[in-house]
Amino acid sequence: FGRNIHYYESLGSTQKAAHQLAHDGAPEGTLVIAEEQTSGRGRLGREWHSLSGKGIWMSLIVKPDLPPQKAPQFTLISAVAVARAVEEITGITPEIKWPNDVLIRGKKVVGILTELQAESDKISSLIIGIGMNANHGQEDFPEHVAHTATSLFIEKGEKISRAALIQCFLKYFERYYSIYISDGFKPIRLLWESYAISIGKRIRATTVSGVITGRAIGITDEGVLKIEDDEGIIHHIYSADIQQT
């Protein structure tokens, strides 16, 4: 991982470029990094603000020999690797909010977007897009996210080395990926749960088919969130926005 790096000063989106590279046969571990993205994409079709020079905007190509249903697990593997790397580089232990936000003091520092290219019943490539607010100052965030976003610089009070953080992330991603392949998802789930904030708490999940409120009771071995509502019914959530209530 990270032996094959495509670095750009400016790109529309590293995610889009990585999709193209994967489609053209780029090997597993290929990493696309840009100093700046002019049309960075977030989850649920949102825009991702990707200021030049301050963040880490990158997309990693992974080619596991697995069926497409396993793709969501990779969001969680990536979140754990990011959390661990942030911890090692800054000394601050971040929290993970299901499925993919990495937070410090309740504010978002990292977003992860996992996308899939599949052929019949097999993953051909996973494109894992990671956006880290590394050296942003508070004034660098657009107004509508200013009170929900933070950066490693703001939290730590000193600039961090983006290269060191990327390297550290790749080290942990490789480690957790190989644990996952040899021992299955359970060790990853346990690690993930050790960073998770919402488990055991009351949350509201806004899904495409409606809102579910209840207590988050954990994730399944597929990485699916389980919520128990007030009637004791357990809901499996594949994709949603989560708020603590």
Under rule CB under 6 A, residue 72 binds ligand BTN? no
Instruction: Single out the residue of 169, 197, 189 nearest to residue 95, CA to CA.
Output: 197
Contact predicate 132/94, CB 8 Å: no
Q: Which stretch binds ligand BTN (CB under 6 A): 64-72, 83-91, 123-131, 206-214?
A: 123-131
Answer yes or no whether residue 153 interacts with ligand BTN by CB under 6 A. Answer: no
Matching residue, tokens 């993953």? 123
- Kindly state the tokens that stand for 139: 């004034």
User: Roughly how many angstroms between the first and final C-alpha of the chain, as a whole number?
Assistant: 39
The residue nearest ligand BTN at its CB is 111
35: its two tokens: 């100093």
**Minimum Å distance from CB 184 to ligand BTN?**
26
Contact 186, 88 (CB under 8 A): no
How far is 15 from 1, CA to CA, in rounded Å? Answer: 17
Q: Does 57 bind ligand BTN (CB under 6 A)?
A: yes
Of positions 22, 76, 83, 113, contacts ligand BTN by CB under 6 A: 113
Q: Does 98 bind ligand BTN (CB under 6 A)?
A: no
User: Which range, of 111-119, 177-185, 187-195, 225-233, touches ligand BTN by CB under 6 A?
Assistant: 111-119
Nearer Cβ to ligand BTN, position 221 or 241?
Answer: 241
Alpha helices (H) in 63-115, listed in sequence order: 71-90
CB nearer to ligand BTN: give 35 or 214: 35
Least distance in angstroms from the C-beta of 83 to ligand BTN: 14
Residue 42 parent element (H or E): none
Contacting ligand BTN (CB under 6 A), which of 15, 73, 133, 150? Answer: 15
Sign of CA dihedral 7, 12, 13, 16: negative
Question: Applying CB under 6 A, which of residues 6, 13, 64, 107 lies at the interface with ligand BTN?
Answer: 13
Name the binding residues for biotin. Answer: 37, 41-43, 108
